[in-house]
Amino acid sequence: MRNRNPIWDLTNINYFKTGLKSEGLILNGGKGVDDHYIQRSVCMEIIFTKLSEKPNMDVDEFIKLLRVYSSTVLLTEKEHRDVTTYTKNTDIMNYVAYDKVGIKVDGLMDIINSSPSIC
C-alpha cells in the first residue's frame, strides 16, 4: 500500500464515473461499487506504454488518456467480487470478464468502441 499510485486518488472524482450501472444493480437497487472496467494494474501498463510511445504528450492528451482507461461503472458488491476473482493474476480486462461472469452494463461497449485505442 505504500506504493499506491496517486492516479487512483485522482480518478475517484465524478469526471471518471461513467454513470453506467450493471443490470443487476438496476434490478436489485443499492448503492453499488465503482469498478474500473479496465483494472488499475492493466490501466497503468497501458498508460505508461502510451507515454513512452509519445513522451511529449501534452496535459490535455494525458487527461483524455486517463479518462479512457481509468473510468468506472457501478456494479453490485457480488458482481465486483466475481470480476475481481475472475481477473486475478491475469491480463484480462474487467469489461471482458463482465460477459464471462454474467454481468451486463448497457452502454459500456458504446464507450469502449468509441475509444479505438482500448480494443
CA 87 to chain centre: 13
Mean of the per-residue pLDDT values for the chain? 87
Q: Which pLDDT score is estimated for 63?
A: 86
Residue with cell 453490485: 76
pTM of the model: 0.83
pLDDT at 106 exceeding the cut of 90: yes
Q: Read off the pLDDT of residues 44-72 as tens digits, 9 standing for 90 and up.
A: 888 889 889 999 999 998 888 888 888 99
CA 73 to chain centre: 7
Q: Which pLDDT score is estimated for 5?
A: 65
Q: 17 — phi, psi (to 5°)?
A: -95, 125
Per DSSP, the three-state class of 21 is strand
Q: How confident is the model at residue 94 (pLDDT cuts 50, 70, 90)?
A: very high
Give the span between the Cα atoms of 106 and 35, in whole angstroms.
Answer: 15
Q: Which pLDDT score is estimated for 32?
A: 93
Give the span between the Cα atoms of 35 and 54, in whole angstroms.
Answer: 28
Give the span between the Cα atoms of 77 and 29, in whole angstroms.
Answer: 11
Give the span between the Cα atoms of 22 and 85, in whole angstroms.
Answer: 18
Q: How confident is the model at residue 25 (pLDDT cuts 50, 70, 90)?
A: very high
Neighbours of 64 (CB within 10 A): 14
pLDDT > 70: percent of the chain: 87
Q: At what angle do helices 40-53 and 59-70 cross, to 10 degrees?
A: 150
Q: How confident is the model at residue 1 (pLDDT cuts 50, 70, 90)?
A: very low
